[in-house]
Amino acid sequence: MNFDLLVWRQPGPSVAGKMVKYRAEGISSDTSFLEMLDIVNEGLIQRGEEPISFDSDCREGICGACGLVINGRAHGPDTGTATCQLHMRRFRDGEEISVEPWRARAFPIHKDLVVDRSAFDRIIAAGGYISANTGSAPEANATRVPQPDQDAAMDAAACIACGACVAACKNASAHLYVGAKISHLTMLPQGLPERQVRAKAMVRQADAEGFGSCSNEGECEAVCPKQIKLTNIARMVREYTRASLIGKD
Looking at the structure, tell me whether residues 236 and 124 fall in a common domain. Answer: yes
End position of a domain, from candidates 75, 110, 145: 110
To 10 degrees, the CA torsion angle through 130, 133, 136, 141? Answer: -50
CA distance 131 to 9: 43
Q: Are 53 and 39 in contact (CB under 8 A)?
A: no
pLDDT in tens, 10-46: 999 999 999 999 999 999 999 999 999 999 999 999 9
Looking at the structure, tell me whether residues 125 and 64 fall in a common domain. Answer: no
Domain count for the chain, please give it: 2
Q: How far does Cα 184 stand from its chain's mean position?
A: 16
Closest C-alpha among 188, 184, 205 to residue 249: 205
Average pLDDT on 48-73 reads 95
pLDDT band at 132 (very low <50, low <70, confident <90, very high): confident
CATH number, domain of 8, equals 3.10.20.30
DSSP 141-200: TSS---HHHHHHHHHHHT-----HHHHHSTT-B-HHHHHHHHHHHHTSGGGSTTHHHHHH
Looking at the structure, tell me whether residues 9 and 74 fall in a common domain. Answer: yes
Name the more confident of 213 and 140. 213
Q: Are 177 and 164 in contact (CB under 8 A)?
A: no
pLDDT in tens, 151-163: 999 999 999 999 9
pLDDT in tens, 162-181: 999 999 999 999 999 999 99
Looking at the structure, tell me whether residues 95 and 125 fall in a common domain. Answer: no
Residue 248: predicted pLDDT: 59
Residue 66: predicted pLDDT: 93
Looking at the structure, tell me whether residues 209 and 171 fall in a common domain. Answer: yes
Residue 157: predicted pLDDT: 95
CA distance 69 to 93: 20
Residue 249: predicted pLDDT: 61
Looking at the structure, tell me whether residues 143 and 106 fall in a common domain. Answer: no
Looking at the structure, tell me whether residues 91 and 121 fall in a common domain. Answer: no
pLDDT in tens, 101-113: 999 999 999 999 9
Average pLDDT on 47-72 reads 95
Looking at the structure, tell me whether residues 101 and 136 fall in a common domain. Answer: no
Q: Which of 44-48, 187-191, 218-222 comes out lowest in average pLDDT?
A: 187-191
pLDDT score of 233 more than 80: yes
pTM: 0.92
Average pLDDT on 201-215 reads 96
Residue 240: predicted pLDDT: 94
Looking at the structure, tell me whether residues 146 and 59 fall in a common domain. Answer: no
Looking at the structure, tell me whether residues 165 and 222 fall in a common domain. Answer: yes
End position of a domain, from candidates 91, 110, 129: 110
Average pLDDT on 239-243 reads 93
E strands of the chain, at which residues? 3-9, 18-24, 69-70, 73-74, 96-100, 109-111, 114-115
End position of a domain, from candidates 74, 91, 110: 110
Residue 217: predicted pLDDT: 92
Looking at the structure, tell me whether residues 105 and 121 fall in a common domain. Answer: no
pLDDT score of 143 more than 90: no
CATH number, domain of 240, equals 1.10.1060.10
Residue 213: predicted pLDDT: 94
Range of the domain at 48: 3-110
Looking at the structure, tell me whether residues 134 and 212 fall in a common domain. Answer: yes
Q: To the nearest whole number, what is the mean pLDDT of the chain?
A: 94
